[in-house]
Amino acid sequence: MDKIVKIIVNALRCPICKSQIDGHDMYYPNIRSTSFNFHCVSNYHDYRFWMPYDGYSVPKILYDMVDVYDGHYLYRIDQKYDINETIIDVWGVDVEHNMINEQSKIFTYQQILFDYQNTDRNKIVNRLKTVLTFQ
C-alpha cells in the first residue's frame, strides 16, 4: 500500500463504532467488493468508501456510504464528493434489522451533509432526524 494512503487510512475511524478502517481491493474493485475498497473492520456495512489511488495523484475519497439503524429504520447515507451530492435512503426494518419493505424513501441533496471526522452514531442520528424533519 502507498505510504500516503496508509497514513490517511490509519487516521480514519468508523463514524458508527470507532473501529479501524481496512481495505480489501486496493486498486480495482471486483464484483464482490461492490466498488468500495476500504471499510470498517468490525462491520462492513457501518462505513465503506472508495478512494482510488495510483501512486501519482493525491488520494482522496470520492464517495462513501454509512448504514445507521435507529428503531425500526435503516438510514443509508451515500455521499459523492466529486459532485457534492448526498442521498439518504430510509428503509423499514424489523427487530433483527431485516428490511421489511422493498421500496425505500429516497431523499437527494445537492450538498455534502455529513462530516464523519468528529462524529459518532448519536450525532449522525440527530442530524438525520433534523434533516428529514423538513421533508
* In the chain, where the domains are located: 3-133
Cell numbers standing for residue 48? 465503506
Per-residue pLDDT tens over the stretch 3-17: 888 888 899 999 999
Q: Are 60 and 49 in contact (CB under 8 A)?
A: no
Using alpha carbons only, give the angle 112, 114, 118 rounded to the nearest 5 degrees: 135
Per-residue pLDDT tens over the stretch 74-120: 999 999 999 999 999 999 998 888 888 777 899 999 999 999 988 89
pTM confidence score:
0.84
Tell me the DSSP string of 43-97.
-TTTEEEE----SSSPP---EEEEEEEETTEEEEEEEETTTTEEEEEEEEB-TT-
